[in-house]
Amino acid sequence: MKTESITNVKTTQETTAVKAFGTDAADAPLQPMNIQRRQPTPHDIEIEILYCGVCHSDLHTARNEWHGTTYPCVPGHEIVGRIVRVGDHVKKFKVGDVAAVGCLVDSCRECQYCQDDLEQYCENGFTGTYGSPDKHLGGQTYGGYSESIVVDEAFVLRVPDHLDLAATAPLLCAGITTYSPLRHWNVGPGQKVGIVGIGGLGHMGVKIAKAMGATVIVYTTSPSKVEDAKRLGADDVVLSKDKEQMKKYAGQLHFVLDAVSAQHDINAYLNLLRVDGALVLVGAPELPLPVAAFGLIPKRRTFAGSMIGGIAETQEMLDFCGEHNIVSDVELIQMDQINEAYERLLKGDVKYRFVIDMASLKG
């Protein structure tokens, strides 16, 4: 693909074919394909993708496990790359800058939530990096398992200079998914915070909550993860299958971040909360989780959910991670290893996030 540094780009709906990796059906493996990207409009930025994280959402979508996938599907919403072209109205970025794109590439920009920098809750529906209606070309958006992407500068993010770029990629989903609730519920010094589950999300929750000044207690079903949780910054680790250990912090925690997507007893974790404590779900179990009313009522506990953050908060998260030298623990893979990575992801066989070296797509 031609990636010369063109500073001024005229408005056009012409397209360029780029290499990508995607799938044509729920039961088909991901494989090489060509997709169309629009030529940058005056407010657009074209990014050569260097690294793309692998989110569990990618697997769910590729295999139509959420029953809404349109094919062909090109996943990927944890994107870090280098800017190769900018439109002539772009103000915040220039050719050569390192930039990032997360889960959002557009929103209505007019509703109350967009006006409040909460584009993730856009009343008219945000435009996802992949699998959403493409306002420019028709059809649907295609994600970061590709050579390049074109995005309006309002949805492009700056990457702190000193962070490892490959390990930064998962911050664009796993990082903001955990940062947003911790920030919203004002986690900080003097608080005890529980992190349930040590995976792609949970390991980021530990790092961020610790950097915010909280005392962090990790809850895991895996004895093999005890030492790793401490390495990540946990002050204590509780094996959740041990009923005696689960009593240790009963009624003491200010906040619990639940990052588990498997079925589990949510009441066991609600009982850890003190008065006015909050448990926030960022994992997404397939079936409803029964909640006992008297696990909430006597201590005015809150049971809530949270998703990603808006663009302003995502930039805040990146800056926070830059200040505290926080990145994800990653395993770098080649593009043609993605199907194997999906199978390993299903088994939990990764510490703690796969990242694709997109240079391997060009070879």
| pLDDT at residue 133, as a whole number | 96
- Residue 176's SS3 state is helix
Domain boundaries, the chain: 15-173+309-362, 175-305
Q: What pLDDT digit, counting tens, does each position of 151-203 carry?
A: 999 999 999 999 999 999 999 999 999 999 999 999 999 999 999 999 999 99
pLDDT tier for residue 97 given thresholds of 50, 70 and 90: very high
| Alpha helices in the chain, H assignment, sequence order | 56-62, 112-115, 165-168, 174-184, 202-211, 226-232, 243-246, 266-270, 311-324, 338-346, 359-362
- Residue 236's SS3 state is strand
Look at residue 84 and tell me whether its pLDDT is greater than 80: yes
Q: What is the mean pLDDT of the chain?
A: 94
Q: What pLDDT digit, counting tens, does each position of 245-280 carry?
A: 999 999 999 999 999 999 999 999 999 999 999 999
With beta carbons less than 8 A apart as the criterion, state whether 205 and 178 touch.
Answer: yes
Chosen CATH of 175-305 out of 3.40.50.2020, 3.50.50.60, 3.40.50.720, 3.40.1280.10? 3.40.50.720
Q: What is the crossing angle of helices 311-324 and 174-184, to 10°? A: 100
Percent of the chain having pLDDT more than 90? Answer: 94
Q: Which residue has the higher pLDDT, 6 or 223?
A: 223
d(CA 165, CA 73): 25
* Chain Cα centroid distance, residue 181: 13
With beta carbons less than 8 A apart as the criterion, state whether 136 and 13 touch.
Answer: yes
φ/ψ region of 71 (left if φ > 0, alpha if ψ in -120 to 50, else beta) reads beta
| pLDDT at residue 213, as a whole number | 98
| pLDDT at residue 363, as a whole number | 67
Q: Write down the pTM of the prediction.
A: 0.94
Amino acid making up residue 201: L
What is the pLDDT averaged over residues 272-289? 95
What is the pLDDT averaged over residues 230-236? 97
Q: What pLDDT digit, counting tens, does each position of 192-203 carry?
A: 999 999 999 999
| pLDDT at residue 3, as a whole number | 35
Q: Looking at the domain 15-173+309-362, which fold is it? A: Quinone Oxidoreductase; Chain A, domain 1 (3.90.180)
pLDDT tier for residue 85 given thresholds of 50, 70 and 90: very high
d(CA 83, CA 93): 8
With beta carbons less than 8 A apart as the criterion, state whether 167 and 355 touch.
Answer: yes
With beta carbons less than 8 A apart as the criterion, state whether 58 and 156 touch.
Answer: no
pLDDT tier for residue 286 given thresholds of 50, 70 and 90: confident
What is the pLDDT averaged over residues 125-148? 96
d(CA 182, CA 212): 9
Pick from 33, 41, 36: which is nearest to 11 by CA? Answer: 41
Look at residue 292 and tell me whether its pLDDT is greater than 70: yes
Look at residue 2 and tell me whether its pLDDT is greater than 50: no
Q: How many CA atoms lie within 13 A of 220 on its CB side?
A: 21
With beta carbons less than 8 A apart as the criterion, state whether 187 and 255 touch.
Answer: yes
